[in-house]
């Protein structure tokens, strides 16, 4: 599956109109965060190659959209199934390139990519419109139907923390009759290319599925291309806002950043909440959009919660992501590490206490628990994207709710309580696309719509929501004269 050059470093290639070719732009090497050695490289596409990919997609889409849904669905199920025997190999590449543990990569490749892609195809098999009655009683001869039609070409842009998972977006866009140009992250290019190669070569017609690489300028070339009718973007809020400005009047599905609060109230099951906090704060070393970035803890149980969390945090196994027993891998890139260090230092300088952790060793950052955190500190107000559990002490559920919602983000939130009444009040009051009661912020439900309130995104993905995001509704009325 690999293309290597003289230096034996595998290179990710672009896929344009059915041809695998190197980008014409500058070369970027990926350094493995766990070994510090080059692990893959990619040549960025040129703007002309982006144009060629979009034009190939436009041509191929005309024929693809005419095929019956069942035929498109069968082709895509075969293409996704072709990935299954390679899940382990692809997981190894995800871990090598961006450093999450092999078990975290297996979860991305299996449940999150293969299973959810297949679910998108199955949802599409039954996806249809409606036949509402005419509004006006005088229209006795009128019959109405609403249908969902493909938009044309979908431009999909994805981040490095889930480098392959955007295949789900590709499948959702394709199954309803669009063609796709996907720009994976330039920071983890090989794993998406290997998955895309298996997928594309399992019977997809040339041109309907294209892959281009590059940084912000190539992303922008895709966003602003007149042939691209819908943008699916997963990434930071800052870039999501740039895309919103650059896209103009285009359909947008934006899955952006978060600053997830996990509220632990005085009647919570403390041991279960501590375990959930560990999983919410330290999964993927905190480099997840749905990570718990703020632990808002009631003063009555604060000290017991902190001491149990510190004990559990000390026992966490940090190390080689390829080792099955490792619970936390390295930080993926220096720019992420710099932000973590800046946020922890800002909190410490403003009076927070580092209960455990707070140090880096190469690209590893220790799992860290901070107490005495207050709104206004960078660690409380911004997305940190690191293995830090910042604890904010509160006196009541009402105060917890106000602090949780006092954020520009609203992606995933959680609350721990044993009161049904409080659970409902908090679940209904928290301003986020996902709320877990007696669960963690990463415990969002795959079978429901996924997306953010406020600056955490526009639109929803998964299930019918993804299919609607990649289609235009058309209402047709017939007069049966």
For the bound state, the minimum distance from the C-beta of residue 222 to ligand NAD, rounded and expressed in Å, comes to 7
| 281 is known as an active-site residue | no
Which of residues 186 and 355 has its CB atom nearest to ligand NAD in the complex?
Answer: 186
**One residue of 30, 61, 91, 185 binding ligand NAD per CB under 6 A:** 185
For the bound state, the minimum distance from the C-beta of residue 76 to ligand NAD, rounded and expressed in Å, comes to 22
Task: Show contacts with ligand NAD in window 282-301 (CB under 6 A).
Answer: 289
Q: Does 159 bind ligand NAD (CB under 6 A)?
A: yes
**Stretch touching ligand NAD by CB under 6 A, among 89-97, 182-190, 400-408, 417-425:** 182-190
Which are the contacts of 413, defined by CB distance < 8 A and separation ≥ 6? 260, 261, 262, 263, 404, 430, 431, 432, 434, 435, 436, 441
For the bound state, the minimum distance from the C-beta of residue 163 to ligand NAD, rounded and expressed in Å, comes to 9
**Stretch touching ligand NAD by CB under 6 A, among 89-97, 124-132, 218-226, 364-372:** 218-226
> Which residue minimizes CB distance to ligand NAD?
219
Bridge partners, 418 (sequence order):
none
Q: Which of 289, 333, 355, 366 is catalytic?
A: 289
Which of residues 177 and 219 has its CB atom nearest to ligand NAD in the complex?
Answer: 219
Which of residues 68 and 226 has its CB atom nearest to ligand NAD in the complex?
Answer: 226
**One residue of 32, 61, 161, 276 binding ligand NAD per CB under 6 A:** 161
Q: Which of 220, 255, 382, 461 is catalytic?
A: 255
Q: Is the dihedral of CA 377, 378, 383, 387 positive or negative?
A: negative
For the bound state, the minimum distance from the C-beta of residue 165 to ligand NAD, rounded and expressed in Å, comes to 8
Parallel, antiparallel, or unpaired: how do β-strands 368-371 and 353-356 relate? antiparallel
Q: Does 186 bind ligand NAD (CB under 6 A)?
A: yes
**One residue of 44, 93, 148, 160 binding ligand NAD per CB under 6 A:** 160
Task: Show contacts with ligand NAD in window 62-121 (CB under 6 A).
Answer: none
Each residue 365-404 as x (binds ligand NAD by CB under 6 A) or -, in order, gives ------------------x---------------------
**Stretch touching ligand NAD by CB under 6 A, among 212-220, 272-280, 299-307, 350-358:** 212-220
Q: How far is the C-alpha of 468 from the C-alpha of 460, rounded, in Å? A: 9
**One residue of 219, 357, 386, 440 binding ligand NAD per CB under 6 A:** 219
Residues constituting the chain? 481
Cα–Cα separations (whole angstroms), residue 389 to 73, 81, 356, 385, 410:
43, 39, 10, 11, 18
Which of residues 250 and 308 has its CB atom nearest to ligand NAD in the complex?
Answer: 250
- Minimal CA–CA distance to 172: which of 238, 125, 227? 125
Cα–Cα separations (whole angstroms), residue 458 to 221, 254, 410:
21, 5, 11
Task: Show contacts with ligand NAD in window 222-281 (CB under 6 A).
Answer: 223, 234-236, 239, 242-243, 255-258
Q: Does 212 bind ligand NAD (CB under 6 A)?
A: no
Which of residues 58 and 383 has its CB atom nearest to ligand NAD in the complex?
Answer: 383
Which of residues 235 and 439 has its CB atom nearest to ligand NAD in the complex?
Answer: 235
| Number of chain positions touching ligand NAD (CB under 6 A) | 28
Q: Does 58 bind ligand NAD (CB under 6 A)?
A: no
Which of residues 45 and 273 has its CB atom nearest to ligand NAD in the complex?
Answer: 45
Task: Find the helix packing angle between 87-98 and 190-200, rounded to 10°.
Answer: 160
Q: Is the dihedral of CA 283, 284, 289, 292 positive or negative?
A: positive
Which of residues 220 and 266 has its CB atom nearest to ligand NAD in the complex?
Answer: 220
Strands (E), 374-460: 388-394, 409-410, 412-416, 434-437, 453-454, 457-458
**One residue of 93, 127, 148, 162 binding ligand NAD per CB under 6 A:** 162
Contact call for residues 184 and 166 (beta carbons, < 8 A) = yes
Between CA 194 and CA 202, with CA 197 as vertex, the angle to 5 degrees is: 135
| 255 is known as an active-site residue | yes
Which are the contacts of 5, defined by CB distance < 8 A and separation ≥ 6? 11
Q: Does 208 bind ligand NAD (CB under 6 A)?
A: no
Q: Which two tokens stand for residue 352?
A: 């927070």
Parallel, antiparallel, or unpaired: how do β-strands 153-157 and 230-234 relate? parallel
For the bound state, the minimum distance from the C-beta of residue 132 to ligand NAD, rounded and expressed in Å, comes to 33
- Minimal CA–CA distance to 462: which of 234, 308, 306, 270? 234
For the bound state, the minimum distance from the C-beta of residue 67 to ligand NAD, rounded and expressed in Å, comes to 30
> How crowded is the C-beta side of 373, counted as CA atoms within 13 Å?
32
Bridge partners, 477 (sequence order):
144
Q: How far is the C-alpha of 47 from the C-alpha of 219, rounded, in Å? A: 10
Sort 126 into a burial class: Cβ within 10 Å, 0-12 / 13-18 / 19+: exposed
* H or E segment and range at residue 295: strand 292-298
Positions marked catalytic:
255, 289
Instruction: Please give the residue ranges that form the binding site for ligand NAD (CB under 6 A).
Output: 157-162, 183, 185-186, 215-216, 219-220, 223, 234-236, 239, 242-243, 255-258, 289, 383, 411, 457
């Amino acid at each position: 599956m690999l293309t290597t050059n003289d230096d034996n470093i595998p290179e990710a290639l672009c896929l344009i109109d059915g041809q695998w070719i190197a980008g014409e732009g500058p070369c970027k090497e990926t350094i493995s965060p766990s070994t510090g050695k080059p692990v893959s490289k990619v040549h960025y596409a040129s703007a002309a190659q982006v144009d060629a990919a979009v034009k190939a997609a436009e041509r191929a889409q005309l024929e693809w959209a005419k095929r019956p849904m069942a035929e498109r669905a069968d082709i895509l199920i075969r293409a996704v199934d072709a990935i299954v025997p390679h899940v382990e190999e692809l997981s190894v590449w995800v871990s090598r390139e961006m450093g999450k543990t092999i078990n975290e990569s297996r979860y991305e490749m299996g449940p999150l990519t293969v299973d959810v892609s297949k679910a998108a195809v199955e949802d599409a098999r039954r996806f249809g419109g409606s036949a509402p009655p005419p509004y006006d009683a005088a229209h006795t001869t009128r019959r109405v139907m609403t249908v969902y039609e493909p938009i044309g070409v979908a431009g999909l842009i994805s981040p490095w923390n889930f480098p392959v998972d955007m295949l789900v977006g590709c499948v959702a866009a394709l199954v309803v009759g669009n063609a796709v140009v996907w720009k994976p992250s330039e920071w983890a290019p090989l794993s998406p290319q290997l998955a895309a190669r298996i997928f594309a070569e399992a019977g997809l017609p040339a041109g309907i599925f294209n892959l281009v690489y590059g940084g912000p300028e190539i992303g922008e070339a895709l966003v602003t291309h007149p042939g691209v009718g819908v943008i699916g973007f997963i990434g930071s809020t800052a870039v999501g806002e740039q895309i919103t400005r650059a896209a103009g009047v285009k359909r947008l599905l934006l899955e952006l950043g978060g600053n997830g609060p996990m509220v632990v109230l005085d009647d919570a099951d403390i041991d279960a909440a501590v375990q959930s906090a560990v999983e919410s704060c330290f999964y993927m070393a905190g480099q997840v959009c749905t990570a718990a970035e703020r632990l808002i803890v009631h003063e009555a149980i604060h000290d017991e919660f902190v001491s149990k969390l510190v004990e559990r945090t000390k026992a966490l196994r940090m190390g080689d992501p390829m080792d099955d027993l490792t619970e936390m891998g390295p930080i993926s890139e220096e720019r992420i590490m710099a932000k973590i260090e800046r946020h922890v230092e800002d909190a410490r300088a403003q009076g927070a206490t580092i209960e455990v952790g707070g140090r880096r060793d190469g690209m590893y950052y220790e799992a860290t628990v901070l107490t005495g955190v207050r709104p206004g500190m960078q660690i409380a107000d911004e997305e940190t994207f690191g293995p830090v559990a910042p604890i904010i002490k509160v006196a009541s559920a009402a105060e917890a709710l106000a602090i949780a919602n006092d954020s520009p983000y609203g992606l995933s939130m959680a609350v721990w309580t044993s009161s049904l009444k409080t659970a409902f009040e908090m679940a209904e009051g928290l301003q986020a696309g996902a709320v877990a009661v007696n669960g963690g912020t990463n415990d969002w439900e795959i079978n429901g719509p996924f997306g953010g309130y406020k600056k955490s995104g526009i639109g929803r993905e998964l299930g019918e929501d993804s299919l609607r995001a990649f289609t235009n509704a058309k209402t047709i009325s017939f007069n049966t004269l």
